[in-house]
Amino acid sequence: MTEQRVALVTGSSSGIGAAIASRLSAEGMRVVLNSARSAEQGRELADSLADAHYVQADISDVDQANRLVEAAVERYGRLDVLVNCAGTTKVIPHSDIAAVTPEVWQRILGVNVIGTWQMSAAAAPHLAKSGAGNIVNISSVAGSRPVGSSIPYAVSKAAIDHMTRLLANALGPDIRVNSVAPALTETPWTRDDPFFRAVADKVRQGTPLRRVGTDTDVAEAVLAVLRMDHMTGAVLPVDGGARLV
């Protein structure tokens, strides 16, 4: 029997990350779930899956990021897939330049960019031994279009997409690195916020598929990327055509 593959999904106590962790588990993988704060929620989800383990760690802290990867490898003895899904934002209109303080930049880039880097760097030696190592970064349509909840958020997602291309070059042939770039997706992050509700109205009226994405849409795309053995350094939009308008 071939050994079960092991996936580590950051930011998987909620929303898109939770859907990805559940989908990979249903696919027969052992899954390590993570969040920085919502530990009870993460543990509950891990307990509900076939063979899963939760680790609390803030990926923006290098020691915690390293410990998260080590905990996954200690638990299951290998690592095949890293999904960098943990992310943060602050809703700031793009014209409100004064509201974008250095602290806002540091927090958003610290989690979204530096956290993604730290996780990828810590996981790479283990993924390289997998025989089919994969990193999938969850970026956003805001990484390539002048949209998104704030300028620092959009910049952080553009940085993730370029990190994807650079790491695909640096880590091949042992590890494939790709981004999945959703547009507005219904999750706890977006559900009750007036900014995102206004975006949802525009999506329903003015985008080719006329609906907001679901966490399942993104989870299916991650699975598709894992199956696409000849794809690396790519950014896969999961946006109902939102990037076209």
Ligand X SMILES: NC(=O)c1ccc[n+]([C@@H]2O[C@H](COP(=O)([O-])OP(=O)(O)OC[C@H]3O[C@@H](n4cnc5c(N)ncnc54)[C@H](OP(=O)(O)O)[C@@H]3O)[C@@H](O)[C@H]2O)c1
Q: Which residues bind ligand X (CB under 6 A)?
A: 10-17, 34-38, 58-60, 85-88, 111, 115, 138, 140, 182, 184-185, 187-190
Identity of residue 135? I
Biggest CA–CA distance in the chain, Å, is 59
- H or E segment to which residue 170 belongs: helix 151-171
CB-facing half-sphere around the CA of 61: CA atoms within 13 A: 9
Please compute, for residue 120, the number of CA atoms within 13 A of its CA located in the half-sphere on the CB side. Answer: 28
Q: Given the complex with ligand X, which of 91 and 132 has the nearer CB atom?
A: 91
Nearer to ligand X, 168 or 184 (CB): 184
Q: Find out whether 61 and 41 touch, Cβ atoms under 8 Å.
A: no
Q: What are the phi and psi torsion angles at 196 (to 5°)?
A: -70, -30
DSSP string across 190-213: HHT-HHHHHHHHHHHHHSTT-S-E
Q: Pick between residue 3 and residue 13 the one whose CB is nearest to ligand X.
A: 13
DSSP character at residue 124 = H
Residue 232: DSSP 8-state: -
Which CB sits closer to ligand X, 164 or 187? 187
Asked if 76 is an active-site residue, the reply is: no
Q: What distance in Å separates the CA atoms of residue 13 and residue 35, rounded to the nearest whole number?
A: 6
Catalytic member of 54, 76, 117, 153: 153
- In the bound complex, what is the minimum distance in angstroms from residue 13's beta carbon to ligand X? 4
| Nearest distance in Å: CB 19, ligand X | 8
Closest distance between ligand X and the C-beta of residue 212, in Å?
Answer: 8
Nearer to ligand X, 12 or 134 (CB): 12
Shortest Å, Cβ 131 to ligand X:
28
Q: How far is the CB of 229 from ligand X (least distance, A)?
A: 25
Reported as half-sphere exposure (CB side, CA atoms, 13 A), residue 166 has a value of 9
Q: In whole angstroms, what is the distance from residue 233 CA to residue 114 CA?
A: 19
Annotated active-site positions, please? 153
